[in-house]
A and B are shown apart, each in its own frame.
Chain A
């Protein structure tokens, strides 16, 4: 009798919740936001769906809508889409140039509030309108997978510091640290590329770091596991230092920040005649000088802009009890830096 009752309940109650069958819904995999042209709306958003075809190819389908809130946008899009829209598969969010200047936090907040959106979403800014970026045809696995993988392997192997939705909002809320986002550009209808990093003051973009600074930027804010850098030597020779591992240590006393950067790498390419130990020493010295100079330049630049993507304030907080953030803001304006770099070339490849 009891068993029967429970079986009945199982059968009856299984109908209590709406079901969502993968083939019958549109999963939002990417979204782009721009400022609306119409002044009564705030955003113009473009939602990207992937349609998987029987022959395993992917069709990118975009819908645009506008509104004051992210939900308005979803309502607009739902009106155009043949299937209900769900947000659980979001991977990439792109912000257009104007909107990132105006502030993006309400949108990031809405991503955070939505329980179905993961923390590994990549938030990026774009050089041209986000709608344009969404509307390309990149790769064979769909636009959002393309952009996602593009950023992921540049974080793993190249000069983009670790980032995702969680890290962005963590830095946003952290006292004494500012956010940065990777910046992409659509260069052809089937290509996008990374062109730098957008630096934010709170939630407003204030500066764009070009590609040439990214190596030093990553040395300051993150650690490398597989970096790459070319060193120019005398007589027009070059040496490529690969497999760079880096670590930084920052110590802040009253009005002075000393930054220690430790780099380990191996030389993979050399255009000169013979790679003697003097040359290796020279490479180390040159790289050290270069890192020290460029990092100092970046830190000065951040100071002038009044932003702190390195998180010096946060580091000071962890090193000093009773940290006063108000006081720090003034201190930061006159803070002095010194950057010490130590390069260690461990190997020079399999020939001498």
Chain B
């Protein structure tokens, strides 16, 4: 049984995978990952980022191998190994994963707005407006979503430069002595990078939409490499800027670093920065809602537009119950853990299963 291929006018050029992967990876994790990894591995944690980045390259390779063998997205892969019914049941789990993903991103960002800028802003109404925008974008089709991913990465890219202000107040010898922590501590820190790094697995869901998918693999690798480098450099600047105990108190270290920014026309740069962060969050939520709705379409054979409304309704109804720092933190932790399990345990298993299925099917043909 061959699935309907995606018509070429709906597909994207291979290089756009770069923007897709990067813009979904960079989201809310980057606002405060420095503290979390420094708790495990101290100021050696930047090594852990590089290590985690290295592991992701392997996973990307596995993802491309899976998709190539199964000839489609994860639903095809599940069908390939477990048949129609069980395959669909397995895929249905990921609808929940991506709903939670978009929920986490949105709620954490709203928390940032509430703590840093407007304590009185209403969680529900902000998410409602944000979701309305997302629905509008997703209704434009996958190519529009990719366009948003492009702009959501390129337009706020200047924000990276604003961390330059912190360099003047940094002590790079803070990072010394290098390698003062055990391998185990470094690995735990790598594990805690999950929330910050996840998102690249979205390739396995939009794979059929890539024109000449094989050509896109290098772009996916390049995207992961770039994010890894950005995270490492930012972590090094942060470690040099804060003392270790001070950093352990900063929930959003990246935002706190903006407090040192001084510009003649604006007293507090955080306001501009956080408002701009909206653009970084937008593709995160759009892509994950798109994936969730796409899965609904593939699994339940419902029109994707209906699926979008279902996802949005789910997000909007849950978001009101997340009202304290602890709950949001818990959500962040659990999504990070889920992401870890999915990326580093499930995908290798899936890869093994697909390879075995391929062998068996070849055997049958003979």
Contact = CB atoms under 8 A, between A and B. Distances in A.
Interface string B128-141: 01001100100100
Contacts of A118: 259-260, 262, 267-268
B10 interface: no
Contacts of A16: 121-122, 125-126
A5 B129 CA distance: 10
Given A16-B121, A162-B169, A172-B246, 6 more contacts: A88-B268, A115-B117, A118-B262, A119-B169, A120-B262, A318-B174
A320 B174 CA distance: 12
Interface centre among A9, A13, A170 (most CB of B within 10 A): A170
A318 B176 contact: yes
B246 A170 contact: yes
Contacts of A6: 132-133, 136
B120 interface: yes
B270 interface: yes
Interface centre among B122, B129, B179, B262 (most CB of A within 10 A): B129
A143 to B, nearest CB: 18
A321 B177 CA distance: 6
B282 to A, nearest CB: 14
B267 A119 contact: no
Nearest to A91: B267
Nearest to A172: B246
Contacts of B300: none
Q: Top 8 A-B pairs ranked by shortest CB distance?
A: A318-B176, A119-B259, A173-B246, A173-B245, A174-B243, A119-B260, A115-B116, A17-B118
Contact of B169 (A167, A174, A319, A322): A167
A160 to B, nearest CB: 15
A166 B169 CA distance: 9
A164 B118 CA distance: 26
A4 B14 CA distance: 35
A319 B129 CA distance: 53
B115 interface: yes
Contacts of B173: 315, 318
Nearest to B43: A318
A304 B109 CA distance: 50
B261 to A, nearest CB: 8
Interface in A1-47: 2, 5-6, 9, 13, 16-18
A89 interface: yes
A6 B131 CA distance: 11
Contacts of B133: 6
A253 interface: no
A213 to B, nearest CB: 24
A13 B241 CA distance: 38
Interface string B238-268: 0001111110010000001001101000011
Interface string A315-352: 10011111000000000000000000000000000000
A169 B246 contact: yes
14 contacts: A9-B132, A18-B120, A118-B259, A118-B268, A119-B256, A162-B169, A166-B260, A169-B246, A170-B242, A173-B246, A174-B246, A175-B245, A319-B176, A322-B180
B125 A13 contact: yes
Contacts of A169: 246
Interface of A: 2, 5-6, 9, 13, 16-18, 88-89, 112, 115-120, 162, 164, 166-167, 169-175, 177, 315, 318-322
Contacts of A119: 169, 256, 259-260
Contacts of A319: 176-177
Interface centre among A115, A170, A322 (most CB of B within 10 A): A115
A9 B129 contact: yes
B177 A88 contact: no
A54 B118 CA distance: 31
A116 B246 CA distance: 18
B177 A320 contact: yes
Contacts of B136: 2, 6
Contacts of B242: 170
Contacts of A164: 169
Given A118-B260, A322-B180, A88 B267 contact: yes
Contacts of B245: 173-175
B181 to A, nearest CB: 10
A87 to B, nearest CB: 11
Interface centre among B116, B120, B241, B260 (most CB of A within 10 A): B260
A75 to B, nearest CB: 16
A143 B108 CA distance: 40
Contacts of A120: 259-260, 262
Nearest to B176: A318
Nearest to A169: B246
B129 A115 contact: no
Contacts of A166: 169, 241, 259-260
Contacts of B259: 117-120, 166
Interface in B258-308: 259-260, 262, 267-268, 270
Contacts of A173: 243-246, 249
Given A88-B267, A166-B169, A166-B259, A17 B121 contact: yes
B243 A171 contact: yes
Nearest to A322: B180
A170 to B, nearest CB: 5
A159 to B, nearest CB: 19
Contacts of A167: 169
A17 B268 contact: no
B268 A170 contact: no
B115 to A, nearest CB: 6
Nearest to B117: A115
A170 B177 CA distance: 19
Interface string B73-111: 000000000000000000000000000000000000000
A16 B136 CA distance: 22
Contacts of A2: 136, 139
A16 B125 CA distance: 9
Nearest to A165: B259
Interface centre among B125, B126, B243 (most CB of A within 10 A): B243
Given A319-B177, A320-B177, A17 B116 contact: no
Contacts of A320: 177
A7 to B, nearest CB: 11
Nearest to B113: A17
Interface string B169-198: 100011011011000000000000000000
A15 to B, nearest CB: 10
A117 B268 CA distance: 8
